[in-house]
Chain A
């Protein structure tokens, strides 16, 4: 019997209309857990670097993480991986809700989709019954509208649906995949649209078994309670109405302008009233005690849900207030547009107009006010009409196509991907490394375990450390105790901290744990439910595998290194690993490059950021070393720094 996983993948070829239920290799679970881990292995093995993201040979993989569907609380994330036309690298995205658990109950750990359907289709999975069905009648329908229509058509309200909107259908690079009010961003909807796959509907009524039922349930219930009762977990932004942090510190418009004194008590009261006058409720994801999503019912607009910084992006890009975000977000979500990158693309276009690089001719009949302009450009982009066709390819690609100096306005991307609009003063070494080397394209997908800032007094630091369960090693407590000024920390400590931060995301994204109870949340308060000291136990109880901290750490290193192998095979090199040039006002190129070299060596990568053969072999990735050598990628890189990956956490 299989435990925690179902042991099966669903293979769909949309070109051939073929459906296959395939038994998964249990050795993959032992080595890569599941979720993003196994998806990386599949992409490495089956999609050679010559494959264009828009080729039928590109794969789109929906995975339920290893712990998803078990009693482990807040393990409900669906992971979506493919190759992105925006970055030409591996795309990594996640969404919460109920889709992943339902997929497990239907008897599958993942759906692997290749090929392209001749016209719009949707996939219907009901246990062993799997059908590719016509979806031409859903053309142009919104994301929640599609989910509702599919449920009606299947006469089953308990079907869980993930769908694209018009943005995905029109291959907009910022297209998301939406499920309920959860959304997979960062460039996966475009590939679902390219494959002409409008939606996936899944319904399962099978048991998902675990190896050590009583032990798992006891641990799970203790964590469930901890998540629900304390304030160390979940999205505090769902309840904290003071959002001065983002508004006073993040940049507005095209990641350009800081407004350090924007926030006020009067504004907070006004915005709080807008929220509570229009909020239907706060909702949660499968088997999670938190309610991170605010569901807003704005007059005349589709009901929508948001969490975290998603409530700020549109009005900050447009120099407006929260009511504008409430007005546009439901519309944008029905179109299936990523709320992080889309507003930046629009603000970028309006800056080009202001600078004279684009002219009024590029924006026929555009309203004069910011509110009207954002709606106007949203429509142009989602329909790929006029200038919208260029903007739909995201900031970096649009800048190149427009030319005439537009590239200079592409100032907030790394690896061609829109970053959070943060412009600060003095370089932060850990953040430099995370933004430079992260391969999940957003700082939110790598930061999160070690606090962002030191505490001011020794007493406070000691109090913090005394309750801090999360660190995988005592050295992190020491780093924190000795840390007094943000940028005053040793390079060695910086490398270790970045590595730990990254480790937690790779573990979450393979097990399906939510970052708000694990990888992302520990940096705020330290009282996070899941960490290196209890996840091994949870995995062991659920799967029956004997996983301890060392083994889990090595598993993180293996998955992380394999993702890097996928990407270096597609051309990722040191030159691409640069935060936006104006991310900090004060820069020191020599120091930054030294730090990057130290980090590469720490990771067991050569000076180009390519994992060495020794590193790959130590992580059971000899096949990747063979492949990289066959393609002359490993030998071609000059000045390789030999070495194994950094020592495992004790």
Chain B
């Protein structure tokens, strides 16, 4: 057992929505980068970044594809920011059933941003590189995190013990085996 400090790199894309011109060069570049062969086609519907645009309300918000969710939200929030109203969806990164963002148009499978970490990885995501108005910027931050293994392990053991108490050791082992095959 070991306790100590460890560092991880956090990749951040900062989005200054005041600087977005709505040009969607990010969508163009993302879809081209992920095309097979690379750059062989453009199709914003395949892009993992979309600019939520509503010219009439002067709304321009780039969002990067996050996790997939099977369900829609149960009611929406609306945000009033500097006198303008934004729907919650404008900032939401989910590929979800309520819109066709981040859904691969042929297969219907969800898309997720990979920060252009394909082999070889780019120095920064391509959407940032092509963003001439400077709306998107990229930062890597080293995060010093204290890792306390014994505590984590203790927590897991407690959890497992309670499952064993509830279902018996055989059922827990069966489930763990099945789960590990599914990985």
Q: Which residues of chain B have a CB within 8 Å of any CB of chain A? A: 18, 20-25, 28-29, 32, 35, 37-46, 52-56, 58, 60, 100, 105, 129-130, 132-133
Contacts and interface: CB of A to CB of B under 8 A. Distances in A.
A157 B38 contact: no
A224 B58 contact: no
A208 B22 contact: no
Interface string A216-255: 1100010011011100000000000000000000000000
Contacts of B132: 224-225, 227-229, 289
Given A157-B54, A208-B43, A224-B130, A217 B25 contact: no
Contact of B38 (A205, A213, A289): A213
Contacts of A180: 55
B37 A213 contact: yes
Contacts of A71: 28-29, 32, 39, 42
Contacts of A282: 21
A234 to B, nearest CB: 11
Contact of B22 (A206, A221, A229, A283): A283
A281 B58 contact: yes
B37 A287 contact: no
B56 A289 contact: no
A295 B129 CA distance: 26
A303 B83 CA distance: 15
Given A217-B32, A217-B39, A205 B105 contact: yes
Contacts of B42: 69-71, 105, 207-208, 210
B40 A288 contact: no
A144 interface: yes
Interface in A172-186: 180-181
Interface residues of A, number: 46
A352 to B, nearest CB: 38
A283 B28 CA distance: 17
A181 B55 contact: yes
16 contacts: A71-B32, A71-B39, A148-B56, A181-B55, A205-B45, A210-B39, A213-B32, A227-B132, A228-B133, A286-B24, A286-B28, A287-B24, A288-B25, A295-B58, A303-B56, A303-B58
Nearest to B46: A207
A280 interface: yes
Interface of A: 69-71, 73, 98, 101, 105, 144, 147-148, 157-158, 180-181, 204-210, 213-214, 216-217, 221, 224-225, 227-229, 280-289, 291, 295, 297, 303, 305
Contacts of A206: 43, 45, 105
Nearest to A207: B41
Given A71-B28, A286-B23, A280 B40 contact: no
Contacts of B24: 98, 286-287
Nearest to A98: B24
A221 B130 contact: yes
Contacts of B44: 101, 105
Q: Closest 4 CB pairs between A and B?
A: A228-B132, A205-B45, A289-B132, A213-B39
Given A284-B21, A285-B23, A286-B24, A291 B40 contact: no
A181 B55 CA distance: 8
Nearest to A70: B42
B169 to A, nearest CB: 51
A209 B133 CA distance: 27
B54 to A, nearest CB: 6
A329 B70 CA distance: 46
B39 A214 contact: yes
Nearest to B17: A281
Given A208-B43, A213-B35, A213-B37, A289 B25 contact: yes
A280 B20 CA distance: 11
Nearest to B54: A157
Contacts of B38: 213-214
B21 A283 contact: yes
A81 B132 CA distance: 33
B183 to A, nearest CB: 33
A256 B177 CA distance: 89
